[in-house]
Chains A and B, each alone.
Chain A
Amino acid sequence: MDIENPLPREIARGVFWLGDCLEQFHKGKSYHSYNAAFLLCGDDASMLIETGHPKDFPAIERQMIELLTADRPPLKYLFVTHQETPHSGGLGRVFQNWPDITVHGDVADYHLAFPQHADRLVSMEVGDEIDLGGRKLVAVEPVIRDLRTTLWGFDTGANCLFPGDGLAYSHYHQDGHCGLVAEEATSLDLEDVLAVFAERALYWTTTTDMRIYVDQLEALLDELGVETIAPTHGLPVTDLALTMPKVRDGLIAEGDPELSVRHISNVDQPEVT
């Protein structure tokens, strides 16, 4: 990117947003999106959530070192939502820098992709938790996902949800959205930017009635008392009452066109997530 990267940024107490933008083109228009990672700092230990896109790892590595040397607890854990390379491709590189960490989540496939680290993989299921001191990372139901092995994470310290590919949407670089949370990006058209990912990445969402999934998502947010959402690809959501109704409309609009508000043609391929 030719502008200064605005990340890292603390989006909730002890939750740091890491990474850099990826430019993509969709129907002749330029969009930016994130393949973010997050650093979650407890009283006793820190955790990296996602590893970021392979192209971003040098930046994420610098951001982590900067944050972890500032009197924060050591990195002990890596939690990954699923096995696609923009989420987990940096696993080996994280191990090179922090060889004592353990990797948590549904750890399928990693023993084949990173066989040299197979003894550091710890399987989690929904409900399992990791104590960071003063806060826990809990594995929760992945309502909107692609691979069957996906898990979402929930931080009990800031009531922050890490939904991986859930809430996957682009943003407008030309409007200065890079590094902003969703509520600050006032010109963000969520229906437009959700469509980029729906067509390109979460193809299945165009085949079904997305009201079912949005209802389930809202139930999960209520059940957990979520206050912040830290998606891997979208801008973080810090005011759910303001933003989630727009997300609801956008997700439903991308669903089965005969059940949804408008038709989304299926003409292209995913390039992200």
Chain B
Amino acid sequence: MAFSGITELSPGSVYALQNAFELNGRISAYPDSARGYSVSNCYLLKADGRSMLLDTGYTAHETEILEQLGSLVEPDAPLSLFPLRINEFMSVSNAMAIARRFNVVECFSNVPDIEEWIEFETLRGEERNPILKTTIIERGDHSQVALSPGRKVDVLNAPIRLISTRWIYDAASKTLFSSDMFSHLWRDREDGPWLLGDNDTDDVTNYSFVRSFLLNTRYWWIEGGNLTPIRKAVADVYDRFEIENIAPGYGTILRGRRHVDRQFQVLDDVLDQLDRTRVAPAYVPRGLVR
């Protein structure tokens, strides 16, 4: 039985729905050579009787995610969905299953008619999926959406991204939801731990490891790129928001300013050292290990 658990990040307010998968060379978000386990993290934000779910997880975890949600959300309570990468299975696979079970009142999207993007089944006979109300998020690098009448979250164009990606900042919990970034902490055991606390040691995050992780996963293209605008955009997020927790879409969650400082510093170092002013750009063939 694969690990499945709920981690409370902020009392009564922010929960991580964590479900493990094996790293076996068949996970696109991790290096081909990575072995062990990681988790996909969907995050539930709650306020004033309303909830917002960031990402919906893989189909392989559908049963667990529905159970996890069921333990946190009343079936009739209004629930918003917010896939951070609408073209990726981890973000959208369970959207319809959740909408069939819970009172999904809207789905945030940068495209209209979101149900046309997330319907992966052919229904038979009289079966019909719910029509989701699409709430279009504003264009531009920064906007806000309401979790409840009294609580908004910041929506950011991910400052470093492979494809369409949003980061979310929740000021109430001082948490940055970073989607595919800061996701490089995996484990040998499927039961984690999947939260690194204030006083826990991060033995992994250093220049060489993060450099290798980025180049061997979704950020294979950054070596020799013009990374100055990306560094500036990442630094802007760090400077503008009071981040105490980093909550990635995959892997270990990081709690505490010390971890936050380290993650941003190492990322900046990597981007600085791989900038085209230091490294000449070159073709990167598929499967090149660096």
Contacts and interface: CB of A to CB of B under 8 A. Distances in A.
Whether both chains belong to one complex is answered with: yes
B220 A89 contact: no
B122 A112 contact: no
Interface in A78-135: 82-86, 89-93, 96-97, 107-109, 111-115, 123, 125-126
Nearest to B227: A207
Nearest to B226: A256
B13 interface: no
The dominant DSSP class at the A interface is loop
B139 A269 contact: yes
A109 B92 CA distance: 13
A270 B110 CA distance: 9
B134 to A, nearest CB: 13
Interface stretch (A2-10, A38-46, A53-61): A53-61
A147 B162 contact: yes
A209 interface: yes
A73 B110 CA distance: 41
Contacts of B110: 269, 271
Contact of B89 (A107, A112, A268): A112
B170 to A, nearest CB: 20
A213 B26 contact: no
A141 to B, nearest CB: 6
A267 B140 CA distance: 6
B60 interface: yes
Given A93-B122, A111-B60, A212 B281 contact: yes
B281 A208 contact: yes
Interface residues of B, number: 55
A120 to B, nearest CB: 14
Interface string B253-284: 00000000000000000000000100001110
Contact of A85 (B88, B225, B287): B88
B204 interface: no
Interface residues of A, number: 61
B140 to A, nearest CB: 7
A269 B164 contact: yes
A266 interface: yes
A148 B89 contact: no
Given A83-B28, A267-B140, A114 B59 contact: yes
Interface stretch (B69-77, B113-121, B195-203, B238-246): B113-121
B21 interface: yes
Nearest to B119: A54
Interface of B: 21, 25-28, 32, 58-61, 86-90, 92-93, 110-111, 113, 116-122, 139-141, 157, 161-164, 166, 216-218, 220-222, 224-227, 229-230, 276, 281-283, 285-287
Given A85-B89, A92-B121, A200-B164, 13 more contacts: A54-B116, A55-B116, A85-B120, A89-B120, A107-B26, A109-B58, A112-B93, A148-B217, A151-B286, A201-B164, A208-B281, A269-B166, A271-B111
